[in-house]
Structure 1
Amino acid sequence: MRLTVFGTGYLGATHAACMAELGHEVVGVDVDPGKVAKLSDGVTPFYEPGLEEVLRRNLDAGRLRFTTSYPEAADHADVHFLGVGTPQKKGEYAADLKYVHAVVDSLAPLIERPSVIIGKSTVPVGTAAELGARARAAATAEVEVAWNPEFLREGFAVQDTLRPDRLVLGVDSARERADWVAELVREVYADLLAADVPYLQTDLATAELVKVSANAFLATKISFINAVSEVCEATGADVTVLADALGYDARIGRRFLNAGLGFGGGCLPKDIRAFMARAGELGADHAVAFLREVDNINMRRRTKVVDMAAKACGGSLLGANVAVLGAAFKPESDDVRDSPALNVAGMIQLHGAVVSVYDPKALENSRRVFPTLNYATSITDACDRADVVLVLTEWAEFTALRPEDLNPVVRSRSIIDGRNCLERARWRDAGWVYAGLGTP
């Protein structure tokens, strides 16, 4: 099939490349000529394992190309995926839909034959219906809007696109062409459906709520174990062993029960806040009021680590040398949006410390957000003469660290494990002062 994908950020570029990998002829569209040029050369503007190989393979095969031209895209296909960002509005919790509206407003007048716009972006419930009316008012041909939310995990995005754990499609069943829309989407994903990927067809509102509800649940699970870790810290209990015990309960499961610095990134924080904002607009704010405490617990973990760093430096960070290992919000990503690690590094610097940050992939993005921090080129460079070392992103090269790797370079043998990812006995046996979150 011939498809377009509007937006070539993390979601859009991944979806475009993977749809081409499934055999479709795909045009990726973006208003940023720089992004289009990079992608056309086979270079991703962000780090995602395996994506560049898929991108280059399909560029070389002629199944994938990128453009800034909306007329070219409108002429190319009848199936248009919408994968632009929906960031948090400045000064508000609500999602900013200006990029979504811009695509629809620019594309719809160019559509000259029956077409469908399929949303992938995470949007407030009710957006799809509004976009449908908006598109039909501007188009000269029949236009339908459906919603097919993404469930990508950074670091596993290619896998999650080519072999997702489910496909959800929301359609407006009141529209005459609803069955036509569903059939088109089933054709797009024919290989996945043949591989028995679960497929759920819903109304528009349900499809919009699936993604944000999933993110709210995961955020709640993470904040739950972090709330328990606060009790563990007050009692001397061990949250890691407690989480293992909870995880054996099939109703609960072990995943996302890792106490530590908490969640960040471009999805969970802004999505739960947008969920709260939309619920308030619908008069149902009481139903998700608990998410405010989920958010509060998550942010408290960051200030807790800053306090732990000050304690490790004798009660004050003024003039201390602090090594921060990790800047991305999670390993296998260069994404620093709302990164707990980078947030903590910035707060520690504001307390008067000299902060040296090292991350295997996220240094360039970090410099754009916090240009005043010092950025190291290696672990040993970051830890040179450090009074305390903070492990804040669980990259494999950090979890594999041994005390003897750092003994010759640090000024003080003190380490804070912000992800509870190190073997604390090894560090303590080697004479280090080890501190974790929710652990004795």
Structure 2
Amino acid sequence: MTAQPLTVRTRPAEDPGADDAAPPRVSVIGTGYLGATHAAAMAALGFAVVGFDTDEAKLRALSLGKVPFYEPGLDELLTEQVEAGRLRFTSDVAEAAASADIHFICVGTPQMKTSHAADLRYVEAAVVSVVRHLRSDALVVGKSTVPVGTAERLRALVAENVPPGISAELVWNPEFLREGKAVTDTLHPDRIVLGGTSPRAEALLRTLYARPIAEGTPVVTCDLPTAELVKVSANAFLATKISFINAIAGVCEAAGADVTVLADALGHDPRIGRQFLDAGLGFGGGCLPKDIRALMHRAGELGAHRAAQLLQQVDEINMGQRERVVDLALEACGGSVLNRRVGVLGAAFKPDTDDVRDSPALNVAAALHLRGAQVTVFDPKASDTARSTFPTLGYATSPEEAVEGADVVLVLTEWAAFVESDPARLAALTHRARVIDARGKLDAGRWRAAGWEFRGLGRPAA
């Protein structure tokens, strides 16, 4: 049976404010970082939402308004929507399927253990499970980041598994969340991409997104392959920009130039812009590394070898920054960190999150620990998650405790508390006031004036 355009009655696309139909009901399949945020946001936009997951403990926490990770504003939004009765959670996929007209697929697509390819088992299982339990016509909307060509295969799975007499349409609506700003990015997105939609599916999704559309958010409609490529291409471009400035930082160090000033000058060019031009430790987290590697792998499969080669270089430059920071720490300590005390400020891969997945900060801290250093880490939000990943490192409860008695201090995550800290007060606590700014955010003159030996990536040594 082939999937047909859905027949759910909805407002016409050109009149999202009409009141001739009941609001569509929403399910969100997968309540991880993306799913929990999307479910709370859809409820905040006024829709009845049910979130599905197989993790009972997580569902109990979410039902109490507790998010099992740190994301500014999400706890409050979740609590508000649960208490308002617009948002609930279930571990019964049949209930979730029967309770909604639109089903958002928000499960993870991790990197496979044996290659750079994305592991699509969870996406495929989620789609099949929902479709098999449909009791009325429905729209299945993919939000997970997937390799191009995935959605077309999922459409075939929908056709094979949809119950007789039921119409189900699968489309793609990629997410563009930034950790630390996910609530704002969901409620007020900078663009909405709708891939592979029939006129009725587009109308239904325009109804869901009526509020941000009314605020001026542009809507891009396209085919399925284009929609699948938008998110990974955006991530690949940002990763390329970061790796470019990190490569230039190496030139700056060799020439005695200052990459931070150079980046400011480049950023005044409107064709380039200043964002993502901070030379430093490089990117990490649960998205950029796996997404560029998955795109690299898929590009190779498709014979687009130039793209694959470019992304290989981007990845190598990024990973090389971690080695460079380790080398700077060794240099600062006279060639060896054995039995030296190293204070590390930052564990999360970026500020305003407790996410330590593929964190460059923890990678550097662990590398120094393996070389015999006594490493003490402090992070305002990520110390607990870091401890569960790297329990052999030492952890402090404050920046002061982390730097106490240190032979060298590394600033590895650019939390505002670190950038704005009093360098004179911290210097007095160290064994020797040496700092490596691996994020390019410290005021070198201010720290040097407070007595610190200062090194930064792509910045003059003195």
TM-score range for the pair, normalised by the shorter chain length: over 0.9
Q: Deviations over 1:347-406 (max 9, x none)?
A: 110111011000000111111211111111111111111100000001011001122221
Does 2:217 align with 1:197?
yes
Aligned-residue offset at 1:293: 0.6
Does 2:111 align with 1:88?
yes
Deviates more, 1:260-269 or 1:284-293: 284-293
Q: Deviations over 1:80-119 (max 9, x none)?
A: 0011111111131111111101111211111122111101
| Paired residue secondary structure (1:55) | helix
Give the conservation status (yes or no) of the 8 Å contact 2:98–2:136: no
Identity among equivalent pairs (%): 60
| Paired residue secondary structure (1:233) | helix
Segments of 5+ residues of structure 2 without an aligned counterpart are 1-23
| Paired residue secondary structure (1:31) | coil
Give the conservation status (yes or no) of the 8 Å contact 2:427–2:452: no
User: How large is the RMSD of aligned CA atoms in angstroms?
Assistant: 0.9
- Structure-2 residue corresponding to 1:9: 32
Aligned-residue offset at 1:407: 2.5
Superposition map of 1:97-112 within 5 A = 97-112=120-135
Give the conservation status (yes or no) of the 8 Å contact 1:358–1:377: yes
- Structure-1 residue corresponding to 2:186: 161
**What CA distance in whole angstroms lies between the structure 2 residues aligned with 1:18 and 1:55?**
8
**What CA distance in whole angstroms lies between the structure 2 residues aligned with 1:92 and 1:298?**
19
Equivalent position to 1:261, from 281, 302, 311: 281
- Structure-2 residue corresponding to 1:321: 341
Q: What TM-score comes out, normalization by structure 1 length?
A: 0.98
Give the conservation status (yes or no) of the 8 Å contact 2:297–2:308: no
- Structure-2 residue corresponding to 1:175: none
- Structure-1 residue corresponding to 2:392: 372
Give the conservation status (yes or no) of the 8 Å contact 1:335–1:362: yes
Superposition map of 1:10-409 within 5 A = 10-140=33-163, 141-171=166-196, 178-409=198-429
**What CA distance in whole angstroms lies between the structure 2 residues aligned with 1:113 and 1:385?**
66
**What CA distance in whole angstroms lies between the structure 1 residues aligned with 2:440 and 2:448?**
14
Which amino acid is 2:380 matched to?
A: P
| Paired residue secondary structure (1:335) | coil
Q: Deviations over 1:238-292 (max 9, x none)?
A: 0001111111111111111100111111111100000011111112233331110
**What CA distance in whole angstroms lies between the structure 2 residues aligned with 1:325 and 1:287?**
36
Aligned-residue offset at 1:426: 1.2
Give the conservation status (yes or no) of the 8 Å contact 1:114–1:143: yes
Q: Deviations over 1:294-314 (max 9, x none)?
A: 000000100000010111111
**What CA distance in whole angstroms lies between the structure 1 residues aligned with 2:282 and 2:307?**
23
| Paired residue secondary structure (1:289) | helix
Segments of 5+ residues of structure 1 without an aligned counterpart are 173-177
**What CA distance in whole angstroms lies between the structure 2 residues aligned with 1:138 and 1:272?**
32
| Paired residue secondary structure (1:360) | coil
- Structure-1 residue corresponding to 2:454: 434
**What CA distance in whole angstroms lies between the structure 1 residues aligned with 2:321 and 2:393?**
21
| Paired residue secondary structure (1:182) | helix
**What CA distance in whole angstroms lies between the structure 2 residues aligned with 1:383 and 1:253?**
35
Give the conservation status (yes or no) of the 8 Å contact 1:171–1:181: no
Give the conservation status (yes or no) of the 8 Å contact 2:427–2:451: no
Q: Deviations over 1:141-188 (max 9, x none)?
A: 22111000000111110100011110000015xxxxx11211111111
- Structure-1 residue corresponding to 2:20: none
**What CA distance in whole angstroms lies between the structure 2 residues aligned with 1:4 and 1:122?**
18
| Paired residue secondary structure (1:94) | coil
Equivalent position to 2:433, from 404, 407, 413: 413
Give the conservation status (yes or no) of the 8 Å contact 2:131–2:158: yes
Aligned-residue offset at 1:6: 0.7
**What CA distance in whole angstroms lies between the structure 2 residues aligned with 1:92 and 1:263?**
20
**What CA distance in whole angstroms lies between the structure 2 residues aligned with 1:35 and 1:236?**
51
**What CA distance in whole angstroms lies between the structure 2 residues aligned with 1:229 and 1:306?**
16
Give the conservation status (yes or no) of the 8 Å contact 2:427–2:450: no
Give the conservation status (yes or no) of the 8 Å contact 1:6–1:29: yes
Give the conservation status (yes or no) of the 8 Å contact 2:410–2:437: yes
Give the conservation status (yes or no) of the 8 Å contact 2:424–2:451: no
| Paired residue secondary structure (1:419) | coil
**What CA distance in whole angstroms lies between the structure 1 residues aligned with 2:98 and 2:270?**
50
Aligned-residue offset at 1:139: 1.1
